[in-house]
Amino acid sequence: MGPEHPAVATGLNNLAQICVAKHEYAEAESMMQRAVAISEKALGPDHPDLVTPLKNLATVYHLESRYAAAEPLYQRALSILEKSAGESAEAVEAMGELADLYRAQRRNTEAELLYERLIPVQETLLGREHREVAGSLFLLAKLYRQDGLYDKDEPLYRRSLALLEKEQPAEGAVLARGLKTFAAMLRHMKRKPEAVALEARAKAILHGQAPGSASAASLVN
């Protein structure tokens, strides 16, 4: 098929993922750069099939902490998705990846704006009680907490934990970590009794004890 056929780009992309799994980032980067170049030439700069190699190359840069190189690739992939698919699951995923990049750089305001955009789309596509909604709520709450926005983060923590509670025990370890994080915030706010109750709940979950009658949400007034 020749060295510049789109199928070659697909093969390079797949092989690069194996390299990433083996932490061979330099090899993965070289393959993904070539995959992007082939896809651009064969399909055009705005083709939806270009999204995957763009995001995968961005991920390699992200793993290498080369944030300045990763950012425009994530942004470009998101722009293509928004033009071609609108508010889709793929666009939500791209927003989350870009938000993760901002979080890694402590660019909280930009990350917050992305989570504020993607959460309503997740709720529409997946439902208000989906575990991915819970995860996004929790990450946004952590960003608010880092910025000292306690009036905004507490409702999100509580809602996220309530959603995870419904999936207990399948999400027990995740719920326990969330309870500990929320408890740490409450301790910082001098709300020790509430923090102690959440910590006890987390300990009970991790030790496989019966959850009792008090839910994670009800432990906080």
State the greatest distance between any 2 C-alpha atoms of the chain, in Å, as a whole number.
Answer: 68
Residues 124-146 pLDDT 10s: 999 998 989 999 999 999 999 99
Q: List for the chain the helix, strand, coil content (%; round to 5).
A: 80, 0, 20
pLDDT value at 220 more than 70: no
pTM across the whole model:
0.81
CA atoms within 13 A on the CB side of 85: 18
Identify the band that residue 213 occupies on the pLDDT scale cut at 50, 70 and 90: very low
Strand ranges, E, within 32-122: none
Q: Confidence band (pLDDT; 50, 70, 90) for 117?
A: very high
- pLDDT tens-digit profile of 5-15? 999 999 999 99
Average pLDDT over residues 37-60: 94
Query: How wide is the angle at C-alpha 103 spanned by C-alphas 68 and 73, nearest 5°?
Result: 35
Question: Residue 80: is its pLDDT beyond 80?
Answer: yes
Which residue type, as a one-letter code, is found at position 72? P
Tens digits of residue pLDDT in 90-115: 999 999 999 999 999 999 999 999 99
Q: Report the percentage of the chain scoring pLDDT > 90.
A: 72
pLDDT, position 170: 59
- How confident is the model at residue 218, as a pLDDT? 42
Which residues, at least 6 apart from 87, have a Cβ–Cβ distance to it below 8 Å? 121, 124, 125
* 160, 178 contact by CB (below 8 A): yes
Per-residue confidence (pLDDT) for residue 172, from 0 to 100: 79
Is pLDDT at 40 greater than 70 in this prediction? yes
Q: How far is CA 92 from CA 102, 114, 131, 165, 208, in A?
A: 15, 9, 14, 24, 34
